[in-house]
Structure 1
């Protein structure tokens, strides 16, 4: 029986419409396990608003291609996308021909590489100004020859970063990422799945395949499969399929009938054993009440002796102090000779008269009174900071995240473009251990309300789709 027949038998046994780990389900479902939903949304957002390009880093089988395919589905219709396999590109002509053809730039590929690069950048800038956007996805980018990598960098013209060919590279080696300047590239590492991630991932695949019942994996089996796959999505797919196929055949073998003679023999043996146990139980019933348990005379071990001594001390202490004779907490905790603490003037007794004059003196505490007055004066002289948008909003409310940058000063000029500054805030977060500043706008009770307010944004954000997030989500990522 080949793999396809085994897979069909497994689908029939579990009531599935499709192979949960086949190509058809690949196209149907994108699992957010391992934070991949958040990474996909971040990539989509930064492609629109950030001057940086993206590096998706992860070993073979970690799900880089599926992640970017999901990002592409999230992009709007005005995006033009070229997808190139870096392992199949060997010459400049091949690289440029793929870009020109897939993006529909209408250029004739010439042998002059520098001239072709300039023409591509000019057309992309012109059509971006007219409302289009362009993206180059390079799978196996770390397999590209060095001259082709150098050519790819020329599609980042410093004079028009907002009207350029955006790039997403999928790479397996972190060494390749280390050679790129982080101000130009934003890294998205795909970490191995945890056992919890693996559970969610398998559930997503099986639901897409038609499973409506419980997950056909025990928790310990998922942990073992994930450990064997080392957190790789591709390896987990293969191992999980083998597990379900094996379970199908094992269950089928268990359900086969036993010969009748074996069943009769088994019942007879069980009957004999049961009668013998009952006979012994009745014979010894009267001896149970009279049996004495001998006290062991073996010496106690060190651990047993320490436990016995501790129990004796606790028992002796409980006999010395009864509940009615227990000393008060105040007297027991007070050190010998320690005086009662003096009350602070800043604390108000519940019985104090709120109408008492503010200049009333406390004869016994002149030093404390002076200190209190100084504290009041100092406190009143400190200006109160104005609550920010993040301070005022409730967790359940929503805001628009408009742009994120490494350098906060780059957002200062942007904030001046808003007619209502109180609706704008800059929130500091971190990414890969370094500061990351995001610009948020508005305080809305629902996502629908936020979408209606898109017309309030400055002209530079016209036609864009900001990331609408809850304030709870923003606070969880903010630096306190």
Structure 2
């Protein structure tokens, strides 16, 4: 806040707050305690762990005033004993040459004066690899990195990726959401870990101000009432910076409500009459259209069947007059095919059929022997009507291949379709050091406590630590997944309680104890 607003001589805001609420100190000017809610504590623990044991560059993003600088300050305060922090000021990173000069002042003899900017940056990261073997890892802090020229930030990232990432200095970039496109990386890469600070909600603002008001001796129920808390959340937009600027005005009732906010609360039912009428008309028209659609669909779904033709037959013979009239047939019986030699040419005549006499019928039957009569097919029945009522398909059934009809084609939907090839399965993981590898399910089945020493997306990160301490019994590594990516963890021991695990930590080498090992349950790996 501006000093002039808080000065006692001109009647600043804090003296007014002190006089009205009896505050002993300014609650908005307190850096402690650290605010852990809204994922701030999770982000801090992730930075602490990956700065000491990770193999990825870190990108911290959030809106202006979301607390990124405060979070980096808490990281330095808590990890200054085991990590070597070097802050690269934004004002000095105007060009690659300026970056090379700043890194040359840190590495000194490791970078020659005539080295170019790119060579100087790459030599700096190789120099930090040798420094970590002495028990202290370096961390480069670039706050407000979205204001740095993109070529400078990409040069720092390229130098880190070209080195041994598990041992080189860890770059930590901080800025707004526009920082990731400037670095030319996406969130799916294995070389960058992205942390985002979300805006504060109403409950977060209450959790941030409540302990500070108590320390200042102010009335919490009055200063954080529902109406004041609602206005604080609306005006601050979830930002720490805006919250500190507008809170004194809200507490002193100096911030007016938005114009028209009270008028909107006195709405009359008449204002909704025309919209309601329009909705009713729209619903009625929709109902009529849907009803007509249902009727049309119902009419189309009823199959329209054609009347089956009634076919009459004429019996030729002496008892033709006394024979009863046959019933109409529903399906025409196709006659058996004639031999190839006697097969008549199918013709369709439009003239009425000739009258067949009894003598001519018997004359035709006499030349046939008994064997021929047995194999002779029955003559097709004639109809009373004209010849054009005979179905054409009867004539088409006789083909030129000796009376054999072609088989019906198989429908396309009944054909056997070839099965699609199965997708290739993910290749099985083969550990590079099987003697020290333990499956994750076996570790979780222990249901005890263990000590996590390091974690990263690359297997070489875990192998480097194990090879540094070959005589340390109980040192093993496993493979998990984090955001659908491989995640390797080095663990130490299997203990029955948390106390036993903390006692075992004291027996570890000093370099490992300085890196704050994580005592956790095996089932939570």
**Deviations, residues 418-472 of structure 1 (Å, cap 9, x unaligned):** 6347xx67474644x76645444443534x543321256589846432123466x
Distance 1:389 1:95, change over 3 A: same
Alignment of 1:180 onto 2:231: no
Q: Do residues 168 (structure 1) and 172 (structure 2) align?
A: yes
Show the counterpart of 2:265.
none
Question: Counterparts of 1:131 and 1:90 in 2: how far apart (Å)?
Answer: 32
Q: Distance in 1 between matches of 2:142 and 2:104?
A: 14
CA shift, 1:228, in A, is: 3.0
Q: Provide the residue aligned with 1:30 in structure 2.
A: 34
Contact 2:87 2:141 in 1 (8 A): yes
Q: SS of the residue aligned with 2:88? A: strand
Given the superposition, is the C-alpha separation of residues 460 and 168 from structure 1 closer, same or farther in structure 2, using an over 3 Å criterion?
same
Aligned to 1:400: 451
1:14 maps to 2:21: yes
Matched ranges for 1:11-410 at <5 A: 11-22=18-29, 25-26=30-31, 28-86=32-90, 89-101=93-105, 103=106, 105=108, 112-156=116-160, 158-174=162-178, 176-177=180-181, 179-180=184-185, 182-207=189-214, 209=216, 216-246=223-253, 388-393=442-447, 399-406=450-457
Q: TM-score, normalised by structure 1?
A: 0.58
Structure 2 CA distance for partners of 1:137 and 1:467, relative to 1, 3 Å? same
Structure with greater proportional helix content: 1
Counterpart in 1 of 2:497? 445
3-state SS of paired residue (2:451): strand
Decide whether the 8 Å contact of 1:58 with 1:171 is kept in 2.
Answer: yes
Kept in 2: contact 1:15–1:211 (CA 8 A)? yes
What is the SS of the residue equivalent to 1:82? strand
* TM-superposition CA deviations, 1:65-102 (whole Å, max 9, x none): 1111111112142432222333553123332333444x
Conserved? CA contact 1:7–1:245, under 8 Å: no
Query: Which residue number in structure 1 is paired with residue 436 of structure 2?
Result: none
Q: How many pairs were matched up? A: 328
Give, in whole Å, the separation in 1 of the partners of 2:42 and 2:226. 25
Partner of 2:432: none
Label 1:450 to 1:227 Cα distance change in 2 as closer, same or farther (>3 A): farther
Cα deviations by residue, 1:10-37 (Å, 9 ceiling, x for unpaired): 1354343432223xx23x3321121211
Deviates more, 1:135-144 or 1:77-86: 77-86
Is the 2:5–2:13 contact (alpha carbons within 8 Å) kept by the matching residues of 1?
Answer: yes
Give the distance between the partners of 1:190 and 1:91, measured in 2 at CA: 29
Asked which structure has the greater RCO (Cα within 8 Å, sep 6+), the reply is 1
The answer for the alignment partner of 2:515 in structure 1 is: 464
User: Structure 2: how far apart are the matches of 1:239 and 1:66?
Assistant: 19
Does structure 1 conserve the Cα–Cα contact (< 8 Å) formed by 2:86 and 2:141?
A: yes
Q: Please, what is the CA RMSD of the aligned residues?
A: 3.9
Aligned 8 A contact 1:389 1:443 in 2: no
**8 A contact 2:92–2:98 mirrored in 1:** no
Flag the 1:413–1:84 CA change in 2: closer, same or farther, 3 A: closer
Cα displacement (A) at 1:391: 3.5
Superposed, which structure 2 residues align to 1:428-443 within 5 Å?
A: 428=480, 430-431=482-483, 436=487, 438-441=489-492, 442-443=494-495
TM superposition shift of 1:413: 8.8
Check whether the contact 2:213–2:220 (CA below 8 A) recurs between aligned residues: no
Cα offset, 1:216, TM superposition:
2.4
Distance 1:67 1:386 in 2: 33
TM-aligned CA distance change 1:444 to 1:62, over 3 Å: farther
Per the TM alignment, residue 46 of structure 1 is displaced from its structure 2 partner at its CA by 0.8
Give the Cα–Cα distance (whole angstroms) in 1 for the partners of residues 455 and 131 of structure 2: 25
- CA offset at residue 137 of structure 1? 0.6
Residue in 2 aligned with 1:336? none
C-alpha distance in 1 between matches for 2:466 and 2:138: 27
Relative to 1, partners in 2 of residues 1:114 and 1:72: Cα closer, same or farther, differing over 3 Å? same
